[in-house]
Amino acid sequence: MLSRWSKFKQLRHFAAGGMVALALAGCASVPGASRSAAADKQPLGRLVVAVPDQDHDLMAQLLAGEMALTRTDLKAASQAYGRAAQLSPDPKVAEQAAALAIAVKDTDAANAAIARWQALGAKPAPLAQARAQLALSQGNTDEARRQLEILVGTGDPDAWRQFGRVLVSSRDSAQAAQLLEAIATPQRLPNDPQAWLAMSELGDKLGRHAYAQQIAEAAVKRFGTAETYAWLGQMKYHDGDRVGAKALFDKALAKDPKNTHLRLAYATLLGQGGDYTAAAKLLDNGPQDADTYAMRAALAARAKDTKTINRLYTQLQHAPDDVRQNSAYLLGQLAEMLDKKDEALKWYDQVADDDDHAFDADLRSAVLLQDLGRSAEAHEQLAQMQTDYLDQPTQLRRAYEVDAELYMDDQQYAQAERAFSRALQVTPDDPALLYGRGLAYAESGDTDQAVTDFRRLLQLKPDDTDATNALGYTLADANRDLPEAQRLIEQARAARPDDPAIEDSWGWLQYRLGHLDQAEKTLRGAWMAHKDADVGVHLGEVLWKQGRQEDARRVFDEVRKIDPQSTNLHNTLKRLNP
């Protein structure tokens, strides 16, 4: 059996950019007038304007640099900014030139830009930062360390943040870790808990866990803030010490019980450990915002706690305006969980255009419209989304795919095939789309095209069990290439021996081979495991062919209850009892 199928109100911002050109033109001589007379009447005509060549035109170089950056041509941008730095008295131009030269590993250009920057009055901290980055790009650890020592010794309030940026940008993590441990010691770090936490986190990212742990523990002893306790607790948790982690998070919450971010972090760790009840209890108490509601809803959904979902839905509807507005998508999801489809549609319609969930909200709206019997509106919405997202392949592909799935649900297979084909133009050889289009072809009776898609899919993913079963079933259903169909379905059965859909394929193959008893046994087992309409139709047909028409009619009656609009049942009955 073939497996069954399981607004964005985007504003278009058009910006028009233009160039304002200033043209200097000489005055043409007037016929019949002497040169001296013209000069007397036009004193500006005697003015000589020196126009610099492009290499010495500051504005031209800055424009060339910016244009190169828009093309992400860093080398050209670096060259243009390097020339601009020598012409401009602005230290920011030299700073940009230095950054670009370092990025493209042009040592000479970087040194020239840094020298120019210094001459124009660069501050010691950013100057040392640039020199440290240049040294790291050259693999010169000693010079990098010297410059980083200068950087943190400047006393600049941003020095340690700049220090971290230098190490993060290093391509050699071992080199960066070595410098971190050598310079960012407890004796040298400033009296700022955020700097300690940043260095501990950086050490952890660079694989220096012992260093990260040492700094985190020292930060707790020195500052004892909620953030320091929480970070150390997180490290303990990742080390497998859940008891220690919980104790540290409890201390953090005691320090700052109303800290929403802290409660979310603690609840996340409890949830990862499987303690959903404790996580939910933690979030239930204290101030609420869009994030706490979202996590509480996720925990309730995971626990299939309809009572809590209903309570959250009511609470969120009466939350402050900003929280409710930022939770429109979540409200739609909760309404769906409670089978309040009309209300869900209204909430999805309120999702803001710039919300991260705007696309998903419109996609869910289309599905709900289909569920509510408003199929034409669903396809209308998806058509609009296909226009809105014409230049965004990921979203465009998904809009076409959902359009196709809805057509499949309505058994409009020709339209489904067209939608899948459009999606495949966006992402050629996409396995999911090939599978979907293959199903559409098979259901519409276009066996050759279905087989072509399934074969292509198996070339891309030889071990895909669903595709293997689909191709085997399609061949068996068309009563062709039965030895190949048998090999394919046997392969699928070996991969998933208890799958009712695959068992249905096997039973239908046995029917095509004339093994009615084996077919009846296999199909009855699949039918009892999963009351699927297509399985029931197959079982009924086998029973009919065995001469057990009454048994077949009872099965067909059950199929009607499951799927009153079953095309497969209609066609089968017409064929069996013309």
pLDDT tens track for 213-253: 999 999 999 999 999 999 999 999 999 999 999 999 999 99
Distance, CA of 508 to CA of 184 (rounded, Å): 70
Output the pLDDT for position 37.
41
40, pLDDT greater than 70: no
**SS (HEC) of 513-575:** CCCHHHHHHHHHHHHHHCCCHHHHHHHHHHHHHCCCHHHHHHHHHHHHHHCCCCHHHHHHHHH
Block residue for tokens 């789309």: 433
Q: Which two tokens stand for residue 519?
A: 């077919």
Q: What is the pLDDT of residue 171?
A: 87
The stretch 165-179 carries a mean pLDDT of 93
Q: If pLDDT is split at 50, 70 and 90, which confidence band does 523 have?
A: very high
Q: Look at residue 53 in the predicted model and tell me its pLDDT.
A: 57
- Is the predicted pLDDT of residue 272 greater than 90, yes or no? no
pLDDT of 285 reads 84
Instruction: Report whether pLDDT(55) > 70.
Output: no
pLDDT in tens, 400-430: 999 999 999 999 999 999 999 999 999 999 9
Q: Is the pLDDT at 76 greater than 60, yes or no?
A: yes
Which of 91-95, 247-251, 286-290, 427-431 has the lowest average pLDDT?
286-290
Which helix H or strand E contains 38, and what residues bound it? Answer: helix 35-41
Q: In sequence order, which ranges of 223-340 are alpha helices (DSSP H)?
A: 226-238, 242-255, 260-272, 276-284, 290-302, 306-317, 321-326, 328-337
Give the pLDDT score at 439. Answer: 96
Please give the Cα distance from 97 to 109 (Å, whole number): 8
Does residue 509 sit in helix, strand or coil?
A: helix
d(CA 536, CA 523): 8
pLDDT class for 29, splitting at 50, 70, 90?
A: very low
The three-point CA angle 560-563-567 to 5° equals: 90
The pLDDT of residue 42: 52
Rounded to an integer, what is the distance from CA 140 to the centroid of its chain?
Answer: 38
Q: What pLDDT does 7 receive? A: 31
Does the structure show a pLDDT above 90 at 495? yes
3-state DSSP of 145-201: HHHHHHHHHCCCCCHHHHHHHHHHCCCCHHHHHHHHHHHCCCCCCCCCHHHHHHHHH
CA distance 97 to 74: 11
- State the pLDDT at residue 25: 33
In 3-state terms, what secondary structure has residue 13? Answer: coil
- Tens of pLDDT, residues 108-137: 999 999 999 999 999 999 999 999 999 999
- Which 3 state secondary structure label does DSSP give 76? helix
Q: How confident is the model at residue 528 (pLDDT cuts 50, 70, 90)?
A: very high
**Which value, to the nearest 10 degrees, does the dihedral of the CA atoms of residues 492, 496, 500, 504 take?**
20
Q: What is the DSSP letter of 43?
A: G
Residue 424: CA count within 13 A, CB half-sphere: 20
Task: Report the C-alpha gap between 339 and 360 in whole angstroms.
Answer: 18
Confirm if 443 and 427 have CB atoms less than 8 A apart. Answer: no
Q: How confident is the model at residue 21 (pLDDT cuts 50, 70, 90)?
A: very low
CB 179 within 8 A of CB 141: yes
pLDDT band at residue 198, thresholds of 50, 70 and 90? very high
